[in-house]
A and B are shown apart, each in its own frame.
Chain A
Protein backbone atom coordinates (compact mmCIF):
# COMPACT_ATOMS: atom_id res chain seq x y z
CA UNK A 1 0.00 0.00 0.00
CA UNK A 2 2.76 2.45 0.87
CA UNK A 3 4.46 1.78 -2.44
CA UNK A 4 1.21 2.53 -4.19
CA UNK A 5 1.06 5.94 -2.61
CA UNK A 6 4.46 6.84 -4.03
CA UNK A 7 3.36 5.91 -7.53
CA UNK A 8 0.57 8.47 -7.14
CA UNK A 9 2.94 11.19 -6.02
CA UNK A 10 5.33 10.39 -8.83
CA UNK A 11 2.52 10.66 -11.36
CA UNK A 12 1.39 14.09 -10.18
CA UNK A 13 4.88 15.45 -9.62
CA UNK A 14 5.46 16.91 -13.13
CA UNK A 15 2.14 18.72 -13.03
CA UNK A 16 2.62 20.00 -9.50
CA UNK A 17 6.21 21.08 -10.18
CA UNK A 18 5.17 23.07 -13.24
CA UNK A 19 2.18 24.73 -11.60
CA UNK A 20 4.00 25.45 -8.37
CA UNK A 21 7.25 26.47 -10.03
CA UNK A 22 5.90 28.73 -12.76
CA UNK A 23 2.59 29.97 -11.41
CA UNK A 24 2.64 30.00 -7.64
CA UNK A 25 6.23 30.51 -6.52
CA UNK A 26 6.73 33.62 -8.72
CA UNK A 27 3.96 35.24 -6.70
CA UNK A 28 5.91 34.90 -3.47
CA UNK A 29 9.13 35.98 -5.14
CA UNK A 30 7.40 39.10 -6.45
CA UNK A 31 6.02 39.81 -2.99
CA UNK A 32 9.60 39.68 -1.73
CA UNK A 33 10.86 41.93 -4.53
CA UNK A 34 8.10 44.48 -3.99
CA UNK A 35 9.59 45.21 -0.56
CA UNK A 36 13.01 45.99 -2.02
CA UNK A 37 14.60 48.53 -4.27
CA UNK A 38 14.73 46.94 -7.68
CA UNK A 39 16.71 48.34 -10.59
CA UNK A 40 18.27 46.75 -13.68
CA UNK A 41 16.76 43.45 -12.57
CA UNK A 42 18.95 43.51 -9.44
CA UNK A 43 17.46 43.37 -5.97
CA UNK A 44 18.66 46.32 -3.93
CA UNK A 45 18.19 47.19 -0.30
CA UNK A 46 15.10 46.57 1.78
CA UNK A 47 12.68 49.52 1.58
CA UNK A 48 9.64 47.96 3.32
CA UNK A 49 6.43 49.40 1.89
CA UNK A 50 8.03 52.25 -0.02
CA UNK A 51 7.06 50.84 -3.42
CA UNK A 52 3.46 50.55 -2.28
CA UNK A 53 3.44 54.12 -0.98
CA UNK A 54 4.81 55.35 -4.31
CA UNK A 55 2.12 53.34 -6.03
CA UNK A 56 -0.65 54.83 -3.91
CA UNK A 57 0.57 58.38 -4.48
CA UNK A 58 0.67 57.88 -8.26
CA UNK A 59 -2.49 59.44 -9.66
CA UNK A 60 -2.29 57.58 -12.98
CA UNK A 61 -2.16 54.22 -11.20
CA UNK A 62 -5.14 55.07 -9.01
CA UNK A 63 -7.06 56.25 -12.07
CA UNK A 64 -6.23 53.05 -13.91
CA UNK A 65 -7.65 50.98 -11.04
CA UNK A 66 -10.89 52.95 -11.30
CA UNK A 67 -10.99 52.63 -15.10
CA UNK A 68 -10.22 48.91 -14.89
CA UNK A 69 -13.05 48.27 -12.45
CA UNK A 70 -15.50 50.40 -14.44
CA UNK A 71 -14.75 48.66 -17.74
CA UNK A 72 -14.78 45.24 -16.07
CA UNK A 73 -18.21 45.64 -14.55
CA UNK A 74 -19.78 47.56 -17.41
CA UNK A 75 -18.73 44.80 -19.81
CA UNK A 76 -19.68 42.11 -17.32
CA UNK A 77 -23.19 43.39 -16.69
CA UNK A 78 -23.92 43.82 -20.41
CA UNK A 79 -22.53 40.37 -21.22
CA UNK A 80 -24.45 38.82 -18.33
CA UNK A 81 -27.71 40.39 -19.44
CA UNK A 82 -27.39 39.44 -23.08
CA UNK A 83 -25.78 36.08 -22.32
CA UNK A 84 -28.63 34.99 -20.08
CA UNK A 85 -31.16 36.35 -22.53
CA UNK A 86 -29.54 34.44 -25.38
CA UNK A 87 -29.39 31.24 -23.37
CA UNK A 88 -33.11 31.44 -22.54
CA UNK A 89 -33.80 31.99 -26.22
CA UNK A 90 -31.51 29.17 -27.34
CA UNK A 91 -32.92 26.78 -24.77
CA UNK A 92 -36.12 26.54 -26.79
CA UNK A 93 -34.20 25.44 -29.88
CA UNK A 94 -33.33 21.82 -30.62
CA UNK A 95 -31.08 19.77 -32.89
CA UNK A 96 -28.62 20.96 -35.50
CA UNK A 97 -30.16 24.40 -35.51
CA UNK A 98 -29.32 24.83 -31.82
CA UNK A 99 -25.78 23.56 -32.32
CA UNK A 100 -25.07 25.95 -35.16
CA UNK A 101 -26.49 28.85 -33.19
CA UNK A 102 -24.29 27.99 -30.21
CA UNK A 103 -21.23 27.97 -32.46
CA UNK A 104 -22.24 31.28 -33.99
CA UNK A 105 -22.47 32.84 -30.52
CA UNK A 106 -19.11 31.40 -29.50
CA UNK A 107 -16.99 32.72 -32.37
CA UNK A 108 -15.85 35.86 -30.50
CA UNK A 109 -14.80 33.81 -27.45
CA UNK A 110 -12.36 31.76 -29.52
CA UNK A 111 -11.03 34.70 -31.52
CA UNK A 112 -7.79 35.91 -29.99
CA UNK A 113 -7.81 39.18 -28.07
CA UNK A 114 -5.37 40.81 -30.46
CA UNK A 115 -7.41 39.92 -33.53
CA UNK A 116 -10.70 41.03 -31.96
CA UNK A 117 -9.29 44.36 -30.88
CA UNK A 118 -7.57 45.05 -34.21
CA UNK A 119 -10.58 44.06 -36.31
CA UNK A 120 -12.86 46.35 -34.31
CA UNK A 121 -10.30 49.11 -34.43
CA UNK A 122 -10.36 48.93 -38.21
CA UNK A 123 -14.15 48.97 -38.30
CA UNK A 124 -14.38 52.14 -36.21
CA UNK A 125 -11.45 53.83 -37.97
CA UNK A 126 -12.39 57.50 -38.31
CA UNK A 127 -11.53 58.10 -41.97
CA UNK A 128 -11.79 54.71 -43.69
CA UNK A 129 -13.67 52.45 -41.28
CA UNK A 130 -16.80 50.55 -42.16
CA UNK A 131 -18.91 52.24 -39.49
CA UNK A 132 -18.19 55.78 -40.59
CA UNK A 133 -18.57 54.91 -44.28
CA UNK A 134 -22.05 53.65 -43.55
CA UNK A 135 -22.83 56.75 -41.50
CA UNK A 136 -21.53 58.99 -44.31
CA UNK A 137 -23.71 57.15 -46.81
CA UNK A 138 -26.74 57.71 -44.61
CA UNK A 139 -25.84 61.38 -44.29
CA UNK A 140 -25.31 61.12 -40.53
CA UNK A 141 -22.31 62.90 -38.98
CA UNK A 142 -19.38 60.52 -38.44
CA UNK A 143 -18.23 59.41 -34.98
CA UNK A 144 -14.61 59.74 -33.91
CA UNK A 145 -14.48 56.81 -31.53
CA UNK A 146 -10.71 56.52 -31.36
CA UNK A 147 -10.30 60.23 -30.63
CA UNK A 148 -13.02 60.51 -28.00
CA UNK A 149 -12.35 59.45 -24.43
CA UNK A 150 -15.93 58.50 -23.63
CA UNK A 151 -16.51 56.58 -26.86
CA UNK A 152 -13.20 54.72 -26.63
CA UNK A 153 -14.06 53.74 -23.08
CA UNK A 154 -17.45 52.46 -24.22
CA UNK A 155 -15.96 50.68 -27.20
CA UNK A 156 -13.39 48.79 -25.10
CA UNK A 157 -16.19 47.74 -22.75
CA UNK A 158 -18.23 46.72 -25.77
CA UNK A 159 -15.44 44.52 -27.18
CA UNK A 160 -15.04 42.79 -23.83
CA UNK A 161 -18.79 42.24 -23.54
CA UNK A 162 -18.91 41.09 -27.17
CA UNK A 163 -16.33 38.36 -26.63
CA UNK A 164 -17.66 37.08 -23.29
CA UNK A 165 -21.41 36.96 -24.00
CA UNK A 166 -21.12 33.61 -25.78
CA UNK A 167 -19.19 32.06 -22.91
CA UNK A 168 -21.81 33.13 -20.39
CA UNK A 169 -24.54 31.88 -22.69
CA UNK A 170 -22.98 28.41 -22.94
CA UNK A 171 -22.52 28.12 -19.17
CA UNK A 172 -26.05 29.24 -18.38
CA UNK A 173 -27.43 27.04 -21.14
CA UNK A 174 -25.74 23.99 -19.63
CA UNK A 175 -27.46 24.86 -16.37
CA UNK A 176 -30.84 25.24 -18.05
CA UNK A 177 -30.42 21.87 -19.76
CA UNK A 178 -29.80 20.19 -16.41
CA UNK A 179 -33.13 21.36 -15.00
CA UNK A 180 -35.62 18.54 -14.64
CA UNK A 181 -38.56 18.61 -17.02
CA UNK A 182 -40.93 17.43 -14.27
CA UNK A 183 -40.22 20.46 -12.14
CA UNK A 184 -41.01 22.85 -14.98
CA UNK A 185 -44.02 20.76 -15.92
CA UNK A 186 -45.28 20.92 -12.32
CA UNK A 187 -44.90 24.68 -12.27
CA UNK A 188 -46.90 24.91 -15.48
CA UNK A 189 -49.67 22.74 -14.04
CA UNK A 190 -49.76 24.96 -10.96
CA UNK A 191 -50.38 27.89 -13.26
CA UNK A 192 -47.09 29.73 -12.87
CA UNK A 193 -46.54 32.46 -15.42
CA UNK A 194 -43.41 32.57 -17.57
CA UNK A 195 -41.79 35.22 -15.40
CA UNK A 196 -42.68 33.37 -12.20
CA UNK A 197 -41.08 30.19 -13.56
CA UNK A 198 -38.05 32.21 -14.60
CA UNK A 199 -37.44 33.98 -11.31
CA UNK A 200 -38.61 31.35 -8.86
CA UNK A 201 -37.57 28.12 -10.52
CA UNK A 202 -35.07 28.59 -13.32
CA UNK A 203 -32.75 31.24 -11.86
CA UNK A 204 -32.47 29.76 -8.35
CA UNK A 205 -31.65 26.37 -9.82
CA UNK A 206 -28.92 27.59 -12.15
CA UNK A 207 -27.42 29.85 -9.51
CA UNK A 208 -24.10 28.01 -9.48
CA UNK A 209 -23.61 28.38 -13.24
CA UNK A 210 -24.41 32.07 -13.08
CA UNK A 211 -22.03 32.58 -10.18
CA UNK A 212 -19.28 30.68 -12.00
CA UNK A 213 -19.75 32.73 -15.17
CA UNK A 214 -19.72 35.91 -13.08
CA UNK A 215 -16.44 34.95 -11.39
CA UNK A 216 -14.65 33.76 -14.51
CA UNK A 217 -15.61 36.80 -16.56
CA UNK A 218 -14.75 39.25 -13.78
CA UNK A 219 -11.32 37.67 -13.65
CA UNK A 220 -10.92 37.64 -17.43
CA UNK A 221 -12.01 41.26 -17.87
CA UNK A 222 -10.06 42.67 -14.96
CA UNK A 223 -6.87 41.02 -16.20
CA UNK A 224 -7.37 41.90 -19.82
CA UNK A 225 -4.56 44.17 -20.90
CA UNK A 226 -4.48 43.06 -24.51
CA UNK A 227 -7.75 44.59 -25.70
CA UNK A 228 -7.11 48.14 -24.39
CA UNK A 229 -3.52 47.89 -25.63
CA UNK A 230 -4.39 46.81 -29.15
CA UNK A 231 -7.57 48.84 -29.47
CA UNK A 232 -6.24 52.26 -28.62
CA UNK A 233 -3.04 51.88 -26.63
CA UNK A 234 -4.87 52.82 -23.44
CA UNK A 235 -5.80 56.20 -24.86
CA UNK A 236 -6.90 58.74 -25.69
CA UNK A 237 -5.57 60.56 -22.61
CA UNK A 238 -5.55 57.36 -20.57
CA UNK A 239 -9.29 56.86 -20.88
CA UNK A 240 -8.91 53.14 -21.57
CA UNK A 241 -5.80 52.51 -19.46
CA UNK A 242 -7.10 49.75 -17.25
CA UNK A 243 -5.18 48.53 -14.25
CA UNK A 244 -4.11 45.44 -16.22
CA UNK A 245 -2.65 47.63 -18.98
CA UNK A 246 -1.02 49.92 -16.40
CA UNK A 247 0.69 46.87 -14.95
CA UNK A 248 2.10 46.04 -18.37
CA UNK A 249 3.27 49.58 -19.13
CA UNK A 250 4.79 50.06 -15.66
CA UNK A 251 6.87 46.95 -16.16
CA UNK A 252 7.69 46.96 -19.84
CA UNK A 253 7.45 50.55 -21.04
CA UNK A 254 8.54 52.50 -17.92
CA UNK A 255 10.76 49.60 -16.75
CA UNK A 256 9.77 50.44 -13.18
CA UNK A 257 9.79 46.94 -11.75
CA UNK A 258 9.65 48.14 -8.15
CA UNK A 259 6.29 49.79 -8.62
CA UNK A 260 5.35 47.13 -11.16
CA UNK A 261 5.86 44.27 -8.74
CA UNK A 262 3.96 46.17 -6.03
CA UNK A 263 1.04 46.58 -8.43
CA UNK A 264 1.35 42.90 -9.41
CA UNK A 265 0.99 41.93 -5.76
CA UNK A 266 -2.02 44.20 -5.45
CA UNK A 267 -3.60 42.70 -8.56
CA UNK A 268 -2.87 39.18 -7.35
CA UNK A 269 -4.56 39.97 -4.04
CA UNK A 270 -7.66 41.17 -5.88
CA UNK A 271 -7.54 38.05 -8.06
CA UNK A 272 -7.09 35.91 -4.97
CA UNK A 273 -10.24 37.37 -3.47
CA UNK A 274 -12.15 36.43 -6.62
CA UNK A 275 -10.49 32.99 -6.72
CA UNK A 276 -11.67 32.29 -3.16
CA UNK A 277 -15.21 32.70 -4.43
CA UNK A 278 -14.34 30.45 -7.35
CA UNK A 279 -13.03 27.67 -5.10
CA UNK A 280 -16.12 27.92 -2.92
CA UNK A 281 -18.46 27.70 -5.88
CA UNK A 282 -16.55 24.69 -7.21
CA UNK A 283 -16.94 22.92 -3.87
CA UNK A 284 -20.59 23.79 -3.99
CA UNK A 285 -20.71 21.99 -7.32
CA UNK A 286 -18.89 18.89 -6.16
CA UNK A 287 -20.99 18.03 -3.11
Chain B
Protein backbone atom coordinates (compact mmCIF):
# COMPACT_ATOMS: atom_id res chain seq x y z
CA UNK B 1 0.00 0.00 0.00
CA UNK B 2 1.20 3.42 -0.92
CA UNK B 3 1.30 5.90 1.89
CA UNK B 4 -0.59 9.07 1.11
CA UNK B 5 1.45 11.41 3.20
CA UNK B 6 1.15 14.93 1.79
CA UNK B 7 4.51 16.20 0.70
CA UNK B 8 5.45 19.45 2.37
CA UNK B 9 7.64 21.54 0.16
CA UNK B 10 10.45 23.49 1.77
CA UNK B 11 9.24 26.69 0.10
CA UNK B 12 5.85 26.28 1.75
CA UNK B 13 7.48 25.66 5.09
CA UNK B 14 9.50 28.85 4.82
CA UNK B 15 6.47 30.89 3.83
CA UNK B 16 4.45 29.53 6.76
CA UNK B 17 7.28 30.17 9.19
CA UNK B 18 7.73 33.69 7.84
CA UNK B 19 4.03 34.56 8.09
CA UNK B 20 3.77 32.95 11.51
CA UNK B 21 6.81 34.86 12.73
CA UNK B 22 5.49 38.18 11.43
CA UNK B 23 1.94 37.75 12.69
CA UNK B 24 2.57 36.11 16.04
CA UNK B 25 5.75 37.79 17.28
CA UNK B 26 4.08 41.00 18.54
CA UNK B 27 1.55 39.01 20.53
CA UNK B 28 3.99 36.44 21.91
CA UNK B 29 6.54 39.08 22.81
CA UNK B 30 3.83 41.04 24.60
CA UNK B 31 2.84 37.91 26.52
CA UNK B 32 6.44 37.18 27.53
CA UNK B 33 6.98 40.80 28.59
CA UNK B 34 3.81 40.83 30.66
CA UNK B 35 5.02 37.81 32.64
CA UNK B 36 8.46 39.21 33.47
CA UNK B 37 9.50 41.19 36.48
CA UNK B 38 10.60 44.78 35.99
CA UNK B 39 14.29 43.78 36.10
CA UNK B 40 13.83 40.99 33.59
CA UNK B 41 12.10 43.31 31.13
CA UNK B 42 15.00 45.74 31.04
CA UNK B 43 17.73 43.10 31.36
CA UNK B 44 20.64 42.87 28.96
CA UNK B 45 21.31 40.44 27.35
CA UNK B 46 17.65 39.98 26.57
CA UNK B 47 15.69 37.21 28.32
CA UNK B 48 13.41 35.27 26.04
CA UNK B 49 12.34 32.22 28.03
CA UNK B 50 14.91 32.14 30.82
CA UNK B 51 12.95 33.98 33.48
CA UNK B 52 10.55 33.06 36.27
CA UNK B 53 7.05 34.07 35.21
CA UNK B 54 5.05 36.26 37.55
CA UNK B 55 1.52 37.63 37.42
CA UNK B 56 2.50 40.86 39.16
CA UNK B 57 1.69 43.13 36.23
CA UNK B 58 -1.74 41.57 35.81
CA UNK B 59 -2.44 42.08 39.50
CA UNK B 60 -1.28 45.68 39.17
CA UNK B 61 -3.55 46.56 36.25
CA UNK B 62 -6.55 44.81 37.76
CA UNK B 63 -6.03 46.89 40.90
CA UNK B 64 -6.04 49.99 38.70
CA UNK B 65 -9.59 49.74 37.40
CA UNK B 66 -8.70 47.72 34.35
CA UNK B 67 -11.21 45.09 35.37
CA UNK B 68 -13.96 47.67 35.32
CA UNK B 69 -13.12 48.76 31.78
CA UNK B 70 -13.05 45.09 30.76
CA UNK B 71 -16.50 44.51 32.23
CA UNK B 72 -17.79 47.74 30.70
CA UNK B 73 -16.71 46.62 27.26
CA UNK B 74 -18.23 43.17 27.75
CA UNK B 75 -21.54 44.79 28.73
CA UNK B 76 -21.38 47.32 25.88
CA UNK B 77 -20.66 44.55 23.40
CA UNK B 78 -23.46 42.31 24.65
CA UNK B 79 -25.97 45.16 24.48
CA UNK B 80 -24.68 46.09 21.03
CA UNK B 81 -24.98 42.49 19.83
CA UNK B 82 -28.52 41.96 21.15
CA UNK B 83 -29.86 45.26 19.84
CA UNK B 84 -28.15 45.25 16.47
CA UNK B 85 -29.11 41.64 15.77
CA UNK B 86 -32.75 42.36 16.60
CA UNK B 87 -32.77 45.50 14.47
CA UNK B 88 -30.82 43.87 11.64
CA UNK B 89 -33.04 40.80 11.58
CA UNK B 90 -36.17 42.92 11.22
CA UNK B 91 -34.61 45.18 8.62
CA UNK B 92 -33.19 42.25 6.69
CA UNK B 93 -36.61 40.61 6.56
CA UNK B 94 -38.25 43.83 5.40
CA UNK B 95 -35.65 44.46 2.71
CA UNK B 96 -36.05 40.97 1.31
CA UNK B 97 -39.87 40.80 1.36
CA UNK B 98 -41.22 44.31 0.84
CA UNK B 99 -40.24 45.95 -2.38
CA UNK B 100 -40.86 49.53 -3.36
CA UNK B 101 -38.95 52.50 -4.76
CA UNK B 102 -38.60 54.09 -1.34
CA UNK B 103 -37.55 50.79 0.19
CA UNK B 104 -34.70 50.43 -2.25
CA UNK B 105 -33.67 54.00 -1.49
CA UNK B 106 -33.51 53.08 2.19
CA UNK B 107 -31.49 50.02 1.27
CA UNK B 108 -28.95 52.16 -0.61
CA UNK B 109 -28.72 54.25 2.55
CA UNK B 110 -27.85 51.13 4.54
CA UNK B 111 -25.25 49.91 2.03
CA UNK B 112 -23.80 53.42 2.02
CA UNK B 113 -23.34 52.98 5.76
CA UNK B 114 -20.88 50.09 5.36
CA UNK B 115 -17.96 52.11 3.92
CA UNK B 116 -19.02 55.18 5.90
CA UNK B 117 -18.61 53.21 9.13
CA UNK B 118 -15.22 51.88 8.11
CA UNK B 119 -14.11 55.48 7.61
CA UNK B 120 -15.69 56.47 10.90
CA UNK B 121 -12.69 58.56 11.92
CA UNK B 122 -14.08 61.37 9.77
CA UNK B 123 -17.24 61.23 11.89
CA UNK B 124 -15.64 61.81 15.30
CA UNK B 125 -16.08 65.58 15.28
CA UNK B 126 -19.60 65.46 13.82
CA UNK B 127 -20.64 62.84 16.34
CA UNK B 128 -18.98 64.62 19.23
CA UNK B 129 -20.76 67.87 18.41
CA UNK B 130 -24.16 66.23 17.97
CA UNK B 131 -23.79 64.06 21.07
CA UNK B 132 -22.73 67.04 23.16
CA UNK B 133 -25.62 69.11 21.84
CA UNK B 134 -28.10 66.47 22.94
CA UNK B 135 -26.25 65.87 26.20
CA UNK B 136 -25.63 62.19 25.61
CA UNK B 137 -21.84 62.04 26.07
CA UNK B 138 -20.51 60.30 29.17
CA UNK B 139 -23.62 58.21 29.70
CA UNK B 140 -23.82 54.46 30.13
CA UNK B 141 -25.70 54.17 26.83
CA UNK B 142 -23.41 56.43 24.76
CA UNK B 143 -21.03 53.78 23.53
CA UNK B 144 -23.59 50.98 22.95
CA UNK B 145 -25.52 53.44 20.79
CA UNK B 146 -22.44 54.19 18.72
CA UNK B 147 -21.39 50.56 18.47
CA UNK B 148 -24.87 49.51 17.35
CA UNK B 149 -25.00 52.19 14.68
CA UNK B 150 -21.52 51.63 13.27
CA UNK B 151 -21.96 47.88 13.00
CA UNK B 152 -25.58 47.88 11.89
CA UNK B 153 -25.04 48.29 8.11
CA UNK B 154 -22.78 45.25 7.99
CA UNK B 155 -25.10 43.24 10.27
CA UNK B 156 -28.08 44.02 8.02
CA UNK B 157 -26.07 43.04 4.98
CA UNK B 158 -25.13 39.67 6.48
CA UNK B 159 -28.65 39.03 7.85
CA UNK B 160 -30.16 39.85 4.47
CA UNK B 161 -27.82 37.41 2.74
CA UNK B 162 -29.07 34.68 5.09
CA UNK B 163 -32.75 35.50 4.66
CA UNK B 164 -32.46 35.46 0.88
CA UNK B 165 -31.37 31.84 1.05
CA UNK B 166 -34.46 30.81 3.07
CA UNK B 167 -37.08 29.51 0.61
CA UNK B 168 -40.28 31.53 0.54
CA UNK B 169 -42.30 28.29 0.55
CA UNK B 170 -41.51 27.80 4.22
CA UNK B 171 -43.14 31.12 5.01
CA UNK B 172 -46.13 30.22 2.88
CA UNK B 173 -46.49 26.93 4.68
CA UNK B 174 -46.40 28.78 7.99
CA UNK B 175 -49.16 31.11 6.78
CA UNK B 176 -51.28 28.12 5.73
CA UNK B 177 -50.71 26.65 9.18
CA UNK B 178 -52.24 29.93 10.38
CA UNK B 179 -49.10 31.32 11.95
CA UNK B 180 -49.32 35.03 12.62
CA UNK B 181 -47.10 37.49 10.78
CA UNK B 182 -45.60 38.41 14.11
CA UNK B 183 -44.59 34.78 14.73
CA UNK B 184 -43.00 34.57 11.30
CA UNK B 185 -41.01 37.78 11.62
CA UNK B 186 -39.88 37.52 15.23
CA UNK B 187 -39.61 33.79 15.68
CA UNK B 188 -39.60 31.64 12.56
CA UNK B 189 -37.32 33.66 10.30
CA UNK B 190 -34.71 34.51 12.96
CA UNK B 191 -34.56 30.86 13.96
CA UNK B 192 -34.06 29.73 10.39
CA UNK B 193 -31.53 32.49 9.88
CA UNK B 194 -29.44 31.52 12.90
CA UNK B 195 -26.11 30.96 11.09
CA UNK B 196 -26.16 34.37 9.42
CA UNK B 197 -27.26 36.12 12.61
CA UNK B 198 -24.54 34.37 14.61
CA UNK B 199 -22.00 35.51 12.07
CA UNK B 200 -23.31 39.08 12.23
CA UNK B 201 -23.14 38.92 16.04
CA UNK B 202 -19.51 37.91 15.81
CA UNK B 203 -18.69 40.93 13.68
CA UNK B 204 -20.63 43.28 15.93
CA UNK B 205 -18.68 41.97 18.91
CA UNK B 206 -15.32 42.43 17.23
CA UNK B 207 -16.27 45.88 15.96
CA UNK B 208 -17.47 46.97 19.38
CA UNK B 209 -14.58 45.45 21.32
CA UNK B 210 -11.85 46.87 19.10
CA UNK B 211 -13.24 50.39 18.70
CA UNK B 212 -10.91 53.02 20.08
CA UNK B 213 -11.11 56.53 18.71
CA UNK B 214 -14.84 57.24 19.17
CA UNK B 215 -14.82 55.63 22.60
CA UNK B 216 -11.93 57.87 23.61
CA UNK B 217 -13.70 60.98 22.41
CA UNK B 218 -17.21 60.41 23.72
CA UNK B 219 -16.34 59.10 27.19
CA UNK B 220 -14.21 61.03 29.66
CA UNK B 221 -15.40 59.67 33.00
CA UNK B 222 -13.38 56.60 34.07
CA UNK B 223 -16.41 54.61 35.19
CA UNK B 224 -17.73 54.25 31.60
CA UNK B 225 -14.35 53.77 29.93
CA UNK B 226 -14.08 51.15 27.19
CA UNK B 227 -11.30 48.58 27.20
CA UNK B 228 -9.20 49.91 24.32
CA UNK B 229 -9.16 53.34 25.94
CA UNK B 230 -8.11 51.76 29.23
CA UNK B 231 -5.21 50.01 27.47
CA UNK B 232 -4.03 53.24 25.91
CA UNK B 233 -4.41 55.11 29.19
CA UNK B 234 -1.89 52.83 30.86
CA UNK B 235 0.67 54.49 28.64
CA UNK B 236 -0.28 57.96 29.73
CA UNK B 237 -0.70 57.48 33.47
CA UNK B 238 2.53 55.79 34.32
CA UNK B 239 4.88 56.99 31.59
CA UNK B 240 6.21 53.95 29.86
CA UNK B 241 5.76 50.93 32.07
CA UNK B 242 5.90 48.22 29.50
CA UNK B 243 5.04 45.39 31.87
CA UNK B 244 1.55 46.61 32.84
CA UNK B 245 0.99 47.96 29.33
CA UNK B 246 1.70 44.62 27.69
CA UNK B 247 -0.37 42.80 30.32
CA UNK B 248 -3.25 45.12 29.41
CA UNK B 249 -2.89 44.37 25.69
CA UNK B 250 -2.88 40.64 26.40
CA UNK B 251 -6.06 40.82 28.50
CA UNK B 252 -7.74 42.97 25.85
CA UNK B 253 -6.76 40.47 23.18
CA UNK B 254 -8.04 37.45 25.10
CA UNK B 255 -11.74 37.49 24.10
CA UNK B 256 -10.85 38.06 20.45
CA UNK B 257 -8.40 35.16 20.50
CA UNK B 258 -10.96 32.86 22.15
CA UNK B 259 -13.56 33.68 19.50
CA UNK B 260 -10.97 33.43 16.80
CA UNK B 261 -9.87 29.95 17.75
CA UNK B 262 -13.40 28.55 18.15
CA UNK B 263 -15.28 30.43 15.45
CA UNK B 264 -12.51 31.21 12.98
CA UNK B 265 -14.18 29.46 10.08
CA UNK B 266 -17.42 31.39 10.56
CA UNK B 267 -15.39 34.58 10.63
CA UNK B 268 -13.81 33.83 7.30
CA UNK B 269 -17.08 32.83 5.66
CA UNK B 270 -18.69 35.97 7.07
CA UNK B 271 -15.92 38.15 5.70
CA UNK B 272 -16.29 36.83 2.19
CA UNK B 273 -20.09 36.63 2.22
CA UNK B 274 -20.49 39.99 3.88
CA UNK B 275 -18.01 41.85 1.80
CA UNK B 276 -18.35 40.39 -1.64
CA UNK B 277 -21.63 38.73 -2.47
CA UNK B 278 -24.55 40.96 -3.35
Q: Which of A54-62, A73-81, A108-116, A187-195 lies at the interface with chain B? A: A108-116
Closest 3 CB pairs of A and B: A8-B98, A286-B278, A26-B126
B81 contacts A by Cβ under 8 Å: no
Bound state CA distance, A101 and B212, in angstroms? 28
A102 near B246: Cβ-Cβ < 8 Å: no
A151 contacts B by Cβ under 8 Å: no
A247 near B113: Cβ-Cβ < 8 Å: no
A99 contacts B by Cβ under 8 Å: yes
A7 near B126: Cβ-Cβ < 8 Å: no
Instruction: Identify 19 new A-B residue pairs, CB closer than 8 A, beyond the known A19-B110, A279-B108.
Output: A8-B98, A18-B87, A24-B113, A104-B20, A107-B23, A110-B210, A114-B228, A118-B235, A125-B242, A127-B42, A128-B242, A174-B272, A175-B276, A226-B212, A247-B121, A261-B125, A271-B116, A271-B119, A285-B277
A104 near B121: Cβ-Cβ < 8 Å: no
B97, B123, B152, B206 — most chain A CB neighbours (10 Å): B123
B16 contacts A by Cβ under 8 Å: yes
Residues in B120-158 with C-beta less than 8 Å from chain A: 120-130, 132-133, 145-146, 148-150, 152-153, 156
B110 near A271: Cβ-Cβ < 8 Å: no
Chain A neighbourhood of B212, CB < 8 A: 112-114, 226
B79 contacts A by Cβ under 8 Å: no
B267 contacts A by Cβ under 8 Å: yes
Bound state CA distance, A107 and B261, in angstroms? 10
A111 near B27: Cβ-Cβ < 8 Å: yes
A106 near B91: Cβ-Cβ < 8 Å: no
| Contacts A23-B113, A114-B231, A167-B271 given; does A120 touch B26 at CB 8 Å | yes
A-B contact pairs, 12 of them (CB 8 A): A9-B94, A18-B145, A19-B110, A26-B123, A89-B12, A111-B26, A118-B245, A133-B44, A216-B118, A224-B121, A248-B124, A271-B122
A170 near B246: Cβ-Cβ < 8 Å: no
Bound state CA distance, A20 and B91, in angstroms? 14
A278 near B115: Cβ-Cβ < 8 Å: yes
A122 near B272: Cβ-Cβ < 8 Å: no
Chain B neighbourhood of A247, CB < 8 A: 121-122, 124-125
Chain A neighbourhood of B110, CB < 8 A: 15-16, 19
B33 contacts A by Cβ under 8 Å: yes
B183 contacts A by Cβ under 8 Å: no
A110 near B267: Cβ-Cβ < 8 Å: yes
B76 contacts A by Cβ under 8 Å: no
A201 contacts B by Cβ under 8 Å: no
Q: 1/0 per residue A27-46: CB within 8 Å of B?
A: 10110010000000100000
B192 contacts A by Cβ under 8 Å: no
Chain B neighbourhood of A174, CB < 8 A: 272, 276
B146, B256, B271 — most chain A CB neighbours (10 Å): B271
A268 contacts B by Cβ under 8 Å: yes
B210 near A113: Cβ-Cβ < 8 Å: yes
Residues in B200-214 with C-beta less than 8 Å from chain A: 206, 209-210, 212-213
A130 contacts B by Cβ under 8 Å: yes
Bound state CA distance, A26 and B153, in angstroms? 17
A215 near B115: Cβ-Cβ < 8 Å: yes
| Contacts A30-B126, A114-B232 given; does A220 touch B152 at CB 8 Å | no
B46 contacts A by Cβ under 8 Å: yes
What is the CB-to-nearest-CB distance from B99 to chain A, in angstroms, rounded to a whole number?
8
Chain B neighbourhood of A251, CB < 8 A: 124-125, 128, 217
B94 near A8: Cβ-Cβ < 8 Å: yes
A115 near B252: Cβ-Cβ < 8 Å: yes
B126 near A133: Cβ-Cβ < 8 Å: no
B42 near A107: Cβ-Cβ < 8 Å: no
B19 near A11: Cβ-Cβ < 8 Å: no
Q: Which of B130, B152, B206 contacts A110 (CB 8 A)?
A: B206
What is the CB-to-nearest-CB distance from B44 to chain A, in angstroms, rounded to a whole number?
7
Bound state CA distance, A212 and B275, in angstroms? 8
Chain B neighbourhood of A9, CB < 8 A: 94, 98, 102-103
B66 contacts A by Cβ under 8 Å: no
Bound state CA distance, A119 and B250, in angstroms? 10
Residues in B56-101 with C-beta less than 8 Å from chain A: 87-88, 90-91, 93-95, 97-98, 100
| Contacts A107-B260, A279-B108 given; does A26 touch B98 at CB 8 Å | no
B213 near A106: Cβ-Cβ < 8 Å: no
Chain A neighbourhood of B30, CB < 8 A: 115, 119, 122
What is the CB-to-nearest-CB distance from A53 to chain B, in angstroms, rounded to a whole number?
18
Chain B neighbourhood of A214, CB < 8 A: none
B113 near A103: Cβ-Cβ < 8 Å: no
Bound state CA distance, A282 and B110, in angstroms? 13
B22, B23, B114, B145 — most chain A CB neighbours (10 Å): B23
Chain B minimum-CB-distance residue to A18: B149
Q: Which of B20, B29, B148, B264 contacts A99 (CB 8 A)?
A: B264
B210 near A112: Cβ-Cβ < 8 Å: yes
Chain A neighbourhood of B127, CB < 8 A: 22, 26
